[in-house]
Amino acid sequence: MSMAHKPRFLIAALVFYAAVEGFSRIGLLNGYFMVIINESLIYVILAVSLNLINGITGQFSLGHMGFAAVGAYTSGAITTIAFRLSPDRPLDYSIFVLSLVAGGLLAALVGFLIGFPSLRLKGDYLGIVTLGFGEIIRTALNNMDFVGGPRGLLGIPKFSSFTLIFAAALISVIIIRNLVESSHGRAMLAVRENELAAELVGIDTTKYKVLAFSTGAFFAGIAGGLLAHLLQMAHPSQFGFMGSVLILIMVYAGGIGSLSGSILAAFVLTFLSQGLLLGIDALANATGLSIGSEWRMVIYSVLLILLMLFKTEGLMGTREFRLLRIPEEEK
Amino acid sequence: MKSLLKISGMTHRFGGLAAVSNLNIELPQGAIYGLIGPNGSGKTTTFNLITGIYRPSEGSIRLDGREIAGMKPYRIVRLGIARTFQNLRIFENLSVLDNIRIALNGSAHSGIIPSVLRTPSFKREEKAIRDKAYELLKGMKLEYRADQMAKNLPYGEQRRLEIARAIATEPKLLLLDEPAAGMNPKEVEELMALIIDARKAFGLTILLIEHHMKFVMGICENITVLNFGETIACGRPEEVASDARVLEAYLGRRGAQC
């Protein structure tokens, strides 16, 4: 009978969860810190799912936040309506989970449709089409009055807790990891490596490009839903081009094609961004100089440039954490 | 003998230029058949037509009596035609093992859900695929390279990997585009032995393009010679080698002015 491998990644993740939850309960981690952790975990989902499209399948997508927007608005609208219909009822988590899945599925449908231009376009050209798509979503939301238009969708109930976000991130990572470590994942890698050769060893390249886009979009939609229920709002400006670029930076900074890299970079860059904010404030207070917080992005960018200069292949290259790998000997 | 591949009246034009014109080839089951000709004579175009990269402007291509002209490449592969490329197209940044496993995807039937859940049947299938891949690598004397990245292999081994990958798709017909290109004489001899072995072991029919005359003459039972897309000769190697039009195509007309 076959032996399952030790779920080392699951164990490590649960230790992380227990530590954060424990420290937060005894007051070692304040609310501010928990917001950053939650945001990092949401970015883990976004970066890993974009890596499936860009890193594993080799399609250049620049509109990932567009998928997140679809998920955020869909699930946000569902729970808001449910909440308005019966404001006295306690928060019902099953509605939340259903709304997340609905948001993910709608995003996947959009990803499926976006997948089709990718069949004809490659590289930069595909990037421009996906960029345009992201802007279309943002502009459309800006003009849809029933979801708040330019004011955004407000009053979304606060469903996203650390526990739920953590669970969603863990499940997303494991699903995408398992997908990559299967015949389907190998087919996606083949598309990235050499599309013609993939086709000529019997891979239906069309199917796998569309699969990558719709799967990536599904998880981006889930992440969007989590974000909306964390911030209790969804606003078109959150889902613009710069948001998509930030996710793309995480994928590259972590190592294109490395899921571990995306996880690492999501944490590092989210913490870096907040850390610089605090650091600059502290420096300004200590020295009495008026250092504006706009310097944050300057330093952040310089650090990114240095990273890409000295570690071109990203933090992890194409390697994976040993924890995340499924050993070849596993029967 | 029963014919496996039958190309009749196949023409392909790029704009006004006929890269292949009125090509007729019939490959009996189990044959090793050569396609030769000077550069630009339409050999690789013929391979691209057979494998579905191009759709022929005219004519038909039948595999086991079934028309395949105009089908998508991956469907043609699944019907039993595999090929290698003149300029290698291995999956460079993947392991040697994965190169083969990708070509075995046709025998992977686990859907996405069982794969993600890693069900017992998925794991059994993965193990079967891995064992099969090792077996194929062994046949090409590459199993000791299984875990290495394909791009780190020496050239001759990359060529063998590409052939192993093609065989992994379980073809009836194998198209080899200049398999001996860039190989030294010893490697060429090994390759000839390997191809003859593979034909026997996997019941292959082989159509190959090659400039290496010793290789072609030594291994092929029948040859078609192309020049500017036209068939100028076909027959047994010794007949073709002494054909006046073939000599002219390769060497030029006797008495041409210099």
- Residues with Cβ within 8 Å of A19's Cβ and at least 6 positions away in sequence, in order, are none
Q: Which domain holds residue A64?
A: 32-243
What pLDDT score does A3 carry? 44
Alpha carbon separation from A212 to A58, A101, A191, A325, B208 (Å, rounded) = 10, 18, 11, 20, 36
Percent of chain A past pLDDT 70, that is, above it, reads: 96
CA dihedral for A180, A182, A186, A191, sign (positive or negative): negative
Interface test with A, best of B68, B85, B91 (most A CBs within 10 A): B91
What mean pLDDT comes out for the span A20-30? 89
Predicted pLDDT at A2: 40
Q: Is residue A263 part of a domain?
A: no
For residue A41, tell me if it sits in a domain. Answer: yes
pLDDT in tens, A94-130: 899 999 999 999 999 999 988 777 677 888 888 898 9
pTM of the shown model: 0.92
Distance CA B59, CA B24 (A): 9
Q: Does some domain include residue A148?
A: yes
**What is the distance between the alpha carbons of residues A65 and B72, in angstroms, rounded to a whole number?**
34
- Report yes or no on A71 lying in a domain: yes
3-state secondary structure (DSSP) of residue B185: helix
On the question of pLDDT at B183 being above 90, the answer is no
Considering CB atoms only, which of B103, B115, B147 is closest to A201?
Answer: B103
CA distance B13 to chain A (A): 21
- How many CA within 13 A on the CB side of residue A111? 37
pLDDT at A140 over 80: yes
Q: Which of B89, B116, B168 sits opposite A196 (nearest CB)?
A: B89
First to last CA, chain B: 48
Residue A2 is assigned to a structural domain of this protein: no
State residue B26 phi and psi, 5-degree precision: -125, 120
Q: Which residues, including other chains, have CB under 8 Å from residue A276's CB and lie 6 or more apart? A: A296, A299, A300
Q: How far apart are CA B76 and CA A62, in angstroms?
A: 34
Of the pLDDT bands very low, low, confident and very high (cuts 50, 70, 90), residue B239 is confident
Q: Is residue A271 part of a domain?
A: no
**Does residue A22 fall inside a structural domain?**
no
Provide the number of structural domains found in chain A. Answer: 1
DSSP output for B19-56: EEEEEEEEEETT-EEEEE-STTSSHHHHHHHHTTSS--
Q: How far apart are the C-alpha atoms of A240 and A198, rounded to whole Å? A: 34
Paired sense of beta strands B32-36 and B222-227, if any: parallel
A201–B166: do the CB atoms touch at under 8 Å? yes
Q: What is the ipTM of this complex?
A: 0.91
pLDDT of residue A4: 52
A186/B105 Cβ within 8 A: yes
Q: Collect all residues of chain B within an 8 Å Cβ-Cβ radius of residue A216.
A: none
Rounded to whole angstroms, the Cα distance separating A194 from A36 reads: 39
Where do the domains of chain B lie, and which CATH numbers do they carry? 3-80+170-251 (3.40.50.300), 92-158 (no CATH)
Count Cβ–Cβ pairs < 8 Å, chain A vs chain B: 99
Residue A3 lies in a domain: no
Token reading at A155:
């009053």
Tokens of A284: 């300004």
Closest CA to B103 of B127, B138, B78, B86: B78
pLDDT in the model for residue B158 = 93
Q: Which residue of B has its CA nearest to A180?
A: B116
